[in-house]
Amino acid sequence: MRLADDTLSATFFALADPTRRAILVRLSRGQATVKELSAPFEMSGPAVSKHLRVLERAGLIQRGREAQWRPRTLDASPIREVAEWAGEFKKFWDASYDRLDNYLDLLKKEGKKNARRS
């Protein structure tokens, strides 16, 4: 498999950085220029631009064409793929609750049995 074909890996890689995730959260509140996106980070312009390129390649942000400032907007559709992939494992993180449920059922049955005996 060529890495370029593997959009899910590109998305996961892009999300594997707290600055890039913070940029996406900021863009979820509305479009922003590179200057606005850089403001919260103690980071050089080129460092922020590099993060933006990673996000852009993964299809997570789009670059406006209408203005000189080229504001960035969020494209959440790759995040949907991530949610769907992760959702396939839901039954495994629910499993611990199921075990607790079974245990409580067992306690209830035992309680009834003891009540009949006494």
CB 60, CB 79: distance < 8 Å: yes
**Residue 26 C-alpha from the chain's centroid:** 14
**Per-residue tokens: 88:** 């396939």
Query: Contact letters (x/-) for a copy of itself, 59-98, by CB under 8 A?
Result: ---------------x-xx-xx-xx-xxxxxx-xx-----
**Per-residue tokens: 6:** 């593997």
Of 1 and 115, nearer to a copy of itself (C-beta) is 1
**Residue 19 C-alpha from the chain's centroid:** 13
Q: Which of 26, 44, 33 lies closest to 66, judged by CA? A: 33
Of 34 and 82, nearer to a copy of itself (C-beta) is 82
Residue 13 binds a copy of itself (CB under 8 A):
yes
Residues at the interface with a copy of itself (CB under 8 A)? 1, 6, 8-10, 12-13, 15-18, 21, 24-25, 28, 74, 76-77, 79-80, 82-83, 85-90, 92-93
